[in-house]
Structure 1
Amino acid sequence: MSGRGTSKQVTIRARGEVDASNAKQFADAVCHAAAGDNRITVDLSDVGFMALDGVAALHAVNARMMHADSSWYVVPSDAVSRVLRLCDPEGLIPVAPTTRPTLRLVEPA
Protein backbone atom coordinates (compact mmCIF):
# COMPACT_ATOMS: atom_id res chain seq x y z
CA MET A 1 0.00 0.00 0.00
CA SER A 2 1.31 3.43 -0.81
CA GLY A 3 0.04 6.98 -0.41
CA ARG A 4 0.82 10.31 -1.98
CA GLY A 5 -0.71 13.75 -2.00
CA THR A 6 -0.94 17.16 -0.40
CA SER A 7 -2.45 18.10 2.92
CA LYS A 8 -5.90 18.33 1.27
CA GLN A 9 -5.92 15.28 -1.00
CA VAL A 10 -4.30 11.87 -0.79
CA THR A 11 -4.42 8.74 -2.93
CA ILE A 12 -3.99 5.40 -1.21
CA ARG A 13 -3.27 2.42 -3.42
CA ALA A 14 -3.55 -1.24 -2.49
CA ARG A 15 -2.80 -4.32 -4.55
CA GLY A 16 -3.04 -8.04 -4.09
CA GLU A 17 -5.81 -9.43 -1.91
CA VAL A 18 -7.97 -8.17 0.95
CA ASP A 19 -9.28 -11.04 3.04
CA ALA A 20 -9.79 -12.17 6.65
CA SER A 21 -6.05 -12.26 7.30
CA ASN A 22 -5.43 -8.59 6.45
CA ALA A 23 -8.77 -6.71 6.35
CA LYS A 24 -8.32 -4.99 9.73
CA GLN A 25 -4.74 -4.07 8.88
CA PHE A 26 -5.98 -2.72 5.51
CA ALA A 27 -8.64 -0.52 7.17
CA ASP A 28 -6.19 0.75 9.78
CA ALA A 29 -3.56 1.52 7.13
CA VAL A 30 -6.06 3.44 4.98
CA CYS A 31 -7.30 5.47 7.94
CA HIS A 32 -3.76 6.16 9.14
CA ALA A 33 -2.63 7.31 5.68
CA ALA A 34 -5.73 9.49 5.36
CA ALA A 35 -5.39 11.17 8.76
CA GLY A 36 -5.73 14.94 8.44
CA ASP A 37 -6.69 14.93 4.77
CA ASN A 38 -10.05 16.03 3.42
CA ARG A 39 -10.28 14.21 0.07
CA ILE A 40 -9.25 10.58 -0.09
CA THR A 41 -9.01 8.25 -3.08
CA VAL A 42 -8.60 4.57 -2.26
CA ASP A 43 -7.30 2.99 -5.46
CA LEU A 44 -8.13 -0.72 -5.42
CA SER A 45 -7.74 -1.19 -9.16
CA ASP A 46 -4.89 -3.67 -8.57
CA VAL A 47 -6.76 -5.77 -5.99
CA GLY A 48 -7.34 -9.19 -7.54
CA PHE A 49 -9.48 -10.62 -4.74
CA MET A 50 -11.63 -9.12 -2.01
CA ALA A 51 -13.41 -11.24 0.58
CA LEU A 52 -16.44 -10.18 2.61
CA ASP A 53 -14.02 -9.05 5.30
CA GLY A 54 -12.71 -6.46 2.85
CA VAL A 55 -16.18 -4.98 2.50
CA ALA A 56 -16.45 -4.82 6.29
CA ALA A 57 -13.09 -3.02 6.28
CA LEU A 58 -14.39 -0.51 3.73
CA HIS A 59 -17.46 0.10 5.92
CA ALA A 60 -15.14 0.75 8.86
CA VAL A 61 -13.16 3.21 6.73
CA ASN A 62 -16.44 4.85 5.66
CA ALA A 63 -17.47 5.33 9.29
CA ARG A 64 -14.11 6.87 10.18
CA MET A 65 -14.17 9.17 7.15
CA MET A 66 -17.68 10.33 7.96
CA HIS A 67 -16.66 10.98 11.57
CA ALA A 68 -13.65 13.00 10.37
CA ASP A 69 -15.83 14.85 7.83
CA SER A 70 -13.54 13.67 5.00
CA SER A 71 -14.79 12.93 1.54
CA TRP A 72 -13.52 9.76 -0.06
CA TYR A 73 -14.18 7.23 -2.78
CA VAL A 74 -12.94 3.89 -4.01
CA VAL A 75 -11.55 3.12 -7.46
CA PRO A 76 -12.48 -0.58 -7.70
CA SER A 77 -11.05 -3.45 -9.66
CA ASP A 78 -13.46 -5.90 -11.29
CA ALA A 79 -13.11 -8.19 -8.26
CA VAL A 80 -13.88 -5.36 -5.83
CA SER A 81 -16.84 -4.21 -7.94
CA ARG A 82 -18.36 -7.70 -7.90
CA VAL A 83 -18.12 -7.99 -4.11
CA LEU A 84 -19.50 -4.49 -3.59
CA ARG A 85 -22.47 -5.21 -5.87
CA LEU A 86 -23.29 -8.23 -3.70
CA CYS A 87 -22.40 -6.93 -0.24
CA ASP A 88 -23.15 -3.22 -0.50
CA PRO A 89 -26.40 -3.06 -2.51
CA GLU A 90 -27.33 0.24 -0.81
CA GLY A 91 -24.17 1.84 -2.19
CA LEU A 92 -22.88 3.08 1.14
CA ILE A 93 -19.29 2.75 -0.02
CA PRO A 94 -18.62 5.65 -2.41
CA VAL A 95 -17.31 4.28 -5.71
CA ALA A 96 -15.74 6.36 -8.45
CA PRO A 97 -17.77 6.39 -11.65
CA THR A 98 -16.33 3.99 -14.20
CA THR A 99 -15.26 5.16 -17.60
CA ARG A 100 -15.04 1.74 -19.18
CA PRO A 101 -16.37 1.39 -22.70
CA THR A 102 -19.66 -0.39 -23.03
CA LEU A 103 -20.25 -3.20 -25.48
CA ARG A 104 -22.90 -2.81 -28.13
CA LEU A 105 -24.45 -5.87 -29.67
CA VAL A 106 -24.71 -5.77 -33.41
CA GLU A 107 -27.26 -7.82 -35.29
CA PRO A 108 -25.84 -9.89 -38.17
CA ALA A 109 -26.72 -8.58 -41.62
Structure 2
Amino acid sequence: MTVAVAGEVDAANAKHFAHAIREAAGVCRAVIVDLTAVPFMAFDGASALYAISAHFSREDVEWCVVGSPAVARVLQLCDPEGLIPRAEVPVLRGAEPA
Protein backbone atom coordinates (compact mmCIF):
# COMPACT_ATOMS: atom_id res chain seq x y z
CA MET A 1 0.00 0.00 0.00
CA THR A 2 1.14 3.54 -0.66
CA VAL A 3 0.14 6.38 1.66
CA ALA A 4 0.71 9.75 0.01
CA VAL A 5 1.02 12.93 2.04
CA ALA A 6 0.83 16.47 0.70
CA GLY A 7 1.52 19.73 2.49
CA GLU A 8 3.79 20.71 5.33
CA VAL A 9 4.64 18.57 8.35
CA ASP A 10 5.44 20.70 11.38
CA ALA A 11 5.01 20.90 15.15
CA ALA A 12 1.31 21.69 14.81
CA ASN A 13 0.43 18.53 12.88
CA ALA A 14 3.25 15.98 13.41
CA LYS A 15 1.28 13.82 15.86
CA HIS A 16 -1.75 13.82 13.57
CA PHE A 17 0.56 12.99 10.64
CA ALA A 18 1.92 9.90 12.47
CA HIS A 19 -1.54 8.79 13.55
CA ALA A 20 -2.98 9.25 10.05
CA ILE A 21 -0.20 7.16 8.49
CA ARG A 22 -0.74 4.33 10.99
CA GLU A 23 -4.50 4.43 10.47
CA ALA A 24 -4.27 4.56 6.67
CA ALA A 25 -1.90 1.58 6.62
CA GLY A 26 -4.42 -0.51 8.54
CA VAL A 27 -3.42 -4.15 8.49
CA CYS A 28 -1.15 -3.98 5.44
CA ARG A 29 2.12 -5.89 5.62
CA ALA A 30 4.05 -3.48 3.39
CA VAL A 31 3.70 0.30 3.22
CA ILE A 32 5.34 3.04 1.16
CA VAL A 33 5.01 6.48 2.73
CA ASP A 34 5.14 8.89 -0.21
CA LEU A 35 6.30 12.29 1.01
CA THR A 36 7.34 13.63 -2.39
CA ALA A 37 4.63 16.33 -2.16
CA VAL A 38 5.87 17.62 1.22
CA PRO A 39 7.59 20.97 0.60
CA PHE A 40 8.55 21.51 4.27
CA MET A 41 9.20 19.14 7.16
CA ALA A 42 10.14 20.34 10.63
CA PHE A 43 12.24 18.24 12.95
CA ASP A 44 8.97 17.15 14.57
CA GLY A 45 8.29 15.26 11.35
CA ALA A 46 11.37 13.11 11.94
CA SER A 47 10.09 12.32 15.44
CA ALA A 48 6.77 11.32 13.90
CA LEU A 49 8.57 9.02 11.44
CA TYR A 50 10.43 7.38 14.35
CA ALA A 51 7.05 6.78 16.05
CA ILE A 52 5.70 5.29 12.81
CA SER A 53 8.79 3.10 12.55
CA ALA A 54 8.33 1.80 16.10
CA HIS A 55 4.66 1.04 15.43
CA PHE A 56 5.37 -0.75 12.15
CA SER A 57 8.18 -2.72 13.77
CA ARG A 58 5.82 -3.96 16.50
CA GLU A 59 3.25 -4.89 13.84
CA ASP A 60 5.88 -6.58 11.61
CA VAL A 61 5.19 -4.22 8.71
CA GLU A 62 7.83 -3.61 6.03
CA TRP A 63 7.90 0.05 5.12
CA CYS A 64 9.89 2.86 3.58
CA VAL A 65 9.75 6.59 2.97
CA VAL A 66 10.03 8.24 -0.42
CA GLY A 67 10.71 11.88 0.28
CA SER A 68 10.99 15.28 -1.26
CA PRO A 69 14.27 17.21 -1.00
CA ALA A 70 12.95 18.88 2.19
CA VAL A 71 12.21 15.49 3.76
CA ALA A 72 15.58 14.11 2.66
CA ARG A 73 17.36 17.04 4.31
CA VAL A 74 15.57 16.59 7.63
CA LEU A 75 16.27 12.85 7.60
CA GLN A 76 19.91 13.51 6.74
CA LEU A 77 20.17 15.70 9.84
CA CYS A 78 17.92 13.77 12.24
CA ASP A 79 18.52 10.18 11.13
CA PRO A 80 22.20 9.91 10.16
CA GLU A 81 22.19 6.21 11.08
CA GLY A 82 19.46 5.50 8.53
CA LEU A 83 17.02 3.91 10.98
CA ILE A 84 14.07 5.22 8.99
CA PRO A 85 14.00 3.14 5.79
CA ARG A 86 14.20 5.26 2.66
CA ALA A 87 13.76 4.57 -1.01
CA GLU A 88 14.94 6.80 -3.80
CA VAL A 89 12.81 7.50 -6.84
CA PRO A 90 14.57 8.94 -9.88
CA VAL A 91 13.21 12.27 -11.05
CA LEU A 92 12.36 12.30 -14.72
CA ARG A 93 12.57 15.89 -15.91
CA GLY A 94 9.97 16.76 -18.48
CA ALA A 95 8.20 13.40 -18.19
CA GLU A 96 4.52 13.38 -19.02
CA PRO A 97 2.08 11.48 -16.78
CA ALA A 98 0.67 8.31 -18.29
Normalised by the length of structure 2, the TM-score is 0.90
Residue in structure 1 matching 2:23, options 32, 56, 75: 32
Provide the identity percentage.
Answer: 51
Q: Is there any run of 5+ residues in structure 1 with no aligned partner, and where? A: 1-9, 102-109
The offset of 1:35, in angstroms, is 1.7
Amino acid at match of 2:14: A
What SS is found at the alignment partner of 1:48? coil
Q: Which has the larger radius of gyration?
A: 1
Structure 2 partner of 1:94: 85
* SS across alignment from 2:75: helix
Paired AA for residue 39 in structure 2: G
The 3-state SS of whatever aligns with 1:49 is coil
- Counterpart of 2:30, as a letter, is R
Compute the displacement of 1:100 (Å). 4.6
- Indicate the structure whose relative CO is greater, using CA pairs within 8 Å and at least 6 residues apart: 2
Is 1:65 aligned to residue 49 of structure 2?
no
Of Structure 1 and Structure 2, which has the larger fraction of its residues in strand?
1
- How many residue pairs get matched? 92
The residue number in structure 2 matching 1:5 is none
Q: Which runs of 4+ in 1 moved over 6 A?
A: none
Deviation at 1:99, TM superposition (A): 2.6
Unaligned ranges ≥5, structure 2: 93-98
Indicate the RMSD between aligned Cα atoms, in angstroms. Answer: 1.1
